Amino acid sequence: MVDVAVMQFAPGQDKPENLRTLTTLVTEAAARGAKVAVAPEYAMFTAPRTDERIVESSESLDGEFVSGLRAIASKVGVHLVAGINEHLPGDDRISNTLVAFGPDGDLAATYRKLHLYDAFGYKESDVIRAGEIVAPETFEVDGLTFGLQTCYDLRFPEVTRRIVDAGADVLLLPAQWVPGPLKEDHWSTLVRARAIENTIYVVAADQSARTGAGASMIVDPMGVILASLGERVGTAVATVCAERIAEVREKNPALALRRFTVAEMSSVLPTRQCRE
């Protein structure tokens, strides 16, 4: 069994202040027993619009903010996952990246957002470069395997399925789920759907208002919401365990019964032919 925490707040444009807030939230989560603490997407720096300010805020994986995350994980003694704006040398765009640091201070896993938020009136691809399709990185805590995924990727079920195929028992999902008509309903529906169809836990940490829709939650493999934060800034903690996953998969062996696998689009789509 592992206690996990979602941490919900609204990061701003002051990176040191964001780091101070994270320190407070991680410390609170650890005091409540959490061994894994998940912060939102863009926890490093969030502006009202995804524009050149995001690029100017970016750092390398050994930058000041990221080093601060490493120090928090090491000092508090948790696995810490957070979204950063990663500088890409020689590119005028950045990577929307998740980093996971262990209590030993080592970088346990990274994830670079695959599907960019070019929807609902936004165009993330103007300043963000989509991540390369690579084997999902995971890390282990007390016998459970944790995988990473970001925000808009939630709308693409094959992304989660690849992570599950890589062995993940628990999906850690930082997000800045932008508020809007039906968006909150989409969020809760999709988070629960990814848990149910893959029979895994989903630990979804969203930004709070005004930059996010809130509703951070921890969902079990049957789609039951174990803990949630509503609109509040703070932490929510729940226990994830292998026994529950096994129990659900005995009742609903969907992974064992499936007849399809996930492949990269370029390798499976036929060439379209024009007809006169």
All structural domains of the chain with their residue ranges: 2-268
Q: Which amino acid is at 27?
A: T
15: annotated active-site residue: no
Task: Point out the catalytic residue in the list 15, 124, 151, 197.
Answer: 151
Q: What residues form DSSP beta bridges with 204?
A: 173, 217
Give the closest residue to 49 by CA, choosing from 120, 116, 124, 118. 124
Segments in 225-268 forming alpha helices (H): 242-251, 254-257, 265-268
Helix (H, G, I), strand (E, B) or coil at 171: strand
Return the pLDDT at 245.
98
Contact, 8 vs 216, CB < 8 A?
Answer: yes
Q: Element (H or E) spanning 96, and its range?
A: strand 95-101
Structure confidence by residue, pLDDT tens digits, 115-146: 999 998 889 999 999 999 999 999 999 999 99
Return the pLDDT at 23.
98
Return the pLDDT at 266.
57
113: annotated active-site residue: yes
Return the pLDDT at 270.
52
> CATH homologous superfamily for 2-268?
Carbon-nitrogen hydrolase (3.60.110.10)
Angle at alpha carbon of residue 237, lines to 233 and 242, rounded to 5°: 150
Return the pLDDT at 222.
98
Question: What residues of the chain score a pLDDT lower than 50?
Answer: 267-269, 271-276
Give the closest residue to 69 by CA, choosing from 138, 3, 128, 18. 18
Angle at alpha carbon of residue 214, lines to 129 and 70, rounded to 5°: 55
Task: Point out the catalytic residue in the list 35, 59, 86, 113.
Answer: 113
Task: Point out the catalytic residue in the list 41, 59, 124, 197.
Answer: 41
Distance CA 103, CA 108 (A): 10
Helix (H, G, I), strand (E, B) or coil at 111: strand
Contact, 230 vs 209, CB < 8 A?
Answer: no
41: annotated active-site residue: yes
Return the pLDDT at 274.
42
Give the closest residue to 44 by CA, choosing from 86, 88, 103, 91. 86
